[in-house]
């Protein structure tokens, strides 16, 4: 059985972590496939939005500790470390670097690595049974996949410190209160509501959406004056695009635009 499912429905690509018997705990093959599919979706002109979710009752239980403790899988080998460390193709790095919007549909628990994956998505929609579990310090590790960078930016230093240092688990309502998820919906309506939002995004000019995400990402490390200059340079090719002309025409003609991504 494929550990990662990839489906396209019009402009929406859905990636489903598919180890439901392990609550979608991450294996080595799943990690590699996830990076490859994210890169593929980002390069596919027909894809405008990506949804990331899990099969069964959980989003992702983190790295597979059963495999690791048995001597196989990620983290096996105790203190043995690779001679070099290259994370450029790791899913958290790829999630951060791609321009296509990614929505996490949190269908259950997201723990450890799974929590970092969810936080790395641009938008998070949670079912009522969803949870984010920062269980790292309870396992003798730290958020290794972007959590120490993402969480303080999402909730502030003090609250991030409280969550990470205590290894706390947050239910869907707490996540909504903290702004860690955009909305909480009924579990049975999760994918429908996520696809509805994805369709709303996909109806807009894809080059503009992707450019906006790229500029937001750059803004995290730029001074304001530098950033507005980069935004201006990003605008120049958009002004030359067919979609820009379509956006203006559709507004003047009082109709819905039909963007082609060109």
pLDDT at 205: 97
pLDDT at 75: 53
CA quadruple 193, 182, 152, 129: dihedral, nearest 10? -60
Beta strands in the chain (DSSP E): 4-9, 12-17, 49-54, 102-106, 109-111, 123-127, 131-133, 169-171, 183-185
All domains of the chain, ordered by start, with CATH? 4-202 (3.90.226.10), 206-252 (1.10.12)
Residue partners of 76: CB distance under 8 A and separation at least 6: 67, 68, 69, 70
Give CA separation, 253 vs 206, 246, 248, 261, in Å: 21, 10, 9, 20
- Among all chains, which residue has been given the structure tokens 């947050």? 170
Nearest Cα neighbor of 198 from 82, 41, 80, 68 is: 41
pLDDT at 66: 64
Question: What b/e readout covers 131-167, taking b as 16+ CB neighbours within 10 angstroms?
Answer: bbbbbbeeeeeebbbbbeebbbeebeeeebeebbeee
What are the tokens at 40? Answer: 């593929």
Cα distance between the two ends of the chain: 38
Residue partners of 245: CB distance under 8 A and separation at least 6: none
Total number of residues shown for the chain? 262
- Do residues 83 and 25 lie in contact, with contact meaning Cβ atoms separated by under 8 Å? no
- Do residues 172 and 133 lie in contact, with contact meaning Cβ atoms separated by under 8 Å? no
pLDDT in single tens digits along all 262 residues of the chain: 699 999 999 999 999 999 999 999 999 899 999 999 999 999 999 999 999 999 999 999 998 866 555 555 555 444 444 555 567 888 889 999 999 999 999 999 999 999 999 999 999 999 999 999 999 999 888 888 899 999 999 999 999 999 999 999 999 999 999 999 999 999 999 999 999 999 999 999 999 999 999 999 999 999 999 999 999 999 999 999 999 999 999 999 999 999 999 9
- Structure pTM? 0.91
Give CA separation, 72 vs 60, 155, 248, in Å: 19, 36, 57
In whole angstroms, what is the distance from residue 255 CA to residue 259 CA? 12
The three-class DSSP label of residue 103 is: strand
What is the spatial order of strands in the sheet that 49-54 belongs to? Answer: 4-9, 12-17, 49-54, 102-106, 123-127, 183-185
CA quadruple 55, 61, 62, 66: dihedral, nearest 10? -110
pLDDT at 212: 97
pLDDT at 82: 52
pLDDT at 79: 43
- Among all chains, which residue has been given the structure tokens 């290894």? 167
């Amino acid at each position: 059985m494929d550990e990662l499912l990839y489906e396209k429905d019009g402009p929406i690509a859905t990636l489903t972590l598919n180890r439901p018997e392990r609550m979608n705990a991450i294996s080595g093959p799943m990690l590699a496939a996830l990076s490859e599919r994210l890169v593929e979706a980002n390069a596919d002109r027909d894809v405008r939005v990506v949804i990331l979710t899990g099969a069964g009752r959980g989003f992702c239980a983190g790295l597979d500790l059963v495999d690791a403790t048995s001597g196989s899988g990620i983290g096996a080998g105790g203190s043995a470390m690779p001679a070099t460390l290259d994370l450029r193709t790791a899913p958290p790095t790829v999630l951060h670097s791609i321009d296509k919007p990614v929505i996490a549909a949190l269908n259950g628990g997201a723990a450890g690595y799974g929590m970092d994956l969810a936080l790395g998505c641009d938008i998070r929609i949670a079912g009522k049974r969803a949870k984010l579990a920062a269980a790292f310090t309870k396992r003798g590790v730290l958020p290794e996949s972007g959590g120490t960078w993402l969480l303080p930016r999402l909730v502030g230093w003090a609250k991030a410190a409280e969550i990470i240092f205590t290894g706390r688990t947050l239910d869907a309502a707490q996540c909504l209160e903290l702004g860690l998820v955009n909305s909480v919906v009924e579990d049975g309506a999760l994918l429908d509501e996520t696809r509805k939002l994805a369709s709303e995004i996909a109806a807009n000019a894809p080059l503009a959406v992707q450019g906006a995400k790229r500029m937001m990402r750059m803004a995290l490390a730029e001074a304001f004056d530098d950033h507005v200059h980069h935004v201006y340079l990003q605008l120049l090719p958009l002004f030359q695009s067919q979609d820009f002309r379509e956006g203006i025409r559709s507004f003047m003609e009082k109709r819905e635009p039909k963007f082609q991504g060109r």
